[in-house]
Amino acid sequence: MPDDWFEDWFGEEYLALYEHRDLSEARDVVGLIAEHVGRVDDAPVLDLACGAGRHQRMLCDRGWWTIGLDLSPSLLRAARAEDRTAPLVRADMRDLPFANGSFSLVVNLFTSFGYFREDAQHLLVLREVARVARPRGWFVLDYLNADQVRNSLVPRDERQIGRLVVEQEREIVEGGRFVRKTITIRDLGRTFVERVRLFGRQELETLCGSAGFDVDAVYGDYQGGAPGPGSPRMILFARRQ
Determine whether 234 is exposed, middle or buried from the number of CB atoms within 10 Å of its CB (0-12, 13-18, 19+).
buried
Q: What is the CA radius of gyration of the chain?
A: 17
Q: What residue segments make up the domains of the chain, in order of their start?
A: 6-144+200-240, 149-194
* φ, ψ at 126 (rounded to 5°): -65, -35
Per-residue pLDDT reduced to its tens digit, 212-230: 999 999 999 999 999 999 9
Percent with pLDDT over 70 in the chain: 91
Other Cβ atoms closer than 10 A to 227? 20
pTM assigned to the model: 0.93
Q: How confident is the model at residue 130 (pLDDT cuts 50, 70, 90)?
A: very high
Q: How confident is the model at residue 9 (pLDDT cuts 50, 70, 90)?
A: very low
* Mean pLDDT score, 46-58: 95
How high does pLDDT run on average in the chain? 91
Q: How confident is the model at residue 8 (pLDDT cuts 50, 70, 90)?
A: low
DSSP percent split of the chain into helix, strand, coil, nearest 5: 30, 30, 35
CA 233 to chain centre: 11
Give the C-alpha separation, 227 to 31, whole Å.
18
Give the sheet arrangement for strand 178-185, strand by strand: 156-161, 164-173, 178-185, 190-197
Give the C-alpha separation, 73 to 192, whole Å.
17
* Mean pLDDT score, 50-72: 95
What CATH number was assigned to the domain covering residues 6-144+200-240?
3.40.50.150
Give the C-alpha separation, 44 to 66, whole Å.
6
Given a cut of 90, whether residue 74 has pLDDT beyond it is no
Q: Which residues contact 99 (CB under 8 A, 6 or more apart)?
A: 132
Produce one character per residue of 134-159: b if its CB has 16 or more CB atoms within 10 Å, e if not: beebbbbbbbbbbbbbeeeeeeeeee
Q: Is the dihedral of CA 219, 56, 11, 204 positive or negative?
A: negative
Per-residue pLDDT reduced to its tens digit, 76-113: 998 999 999 999 999 999 999 999 999 999 999 999 99
Amino acid at 43: A
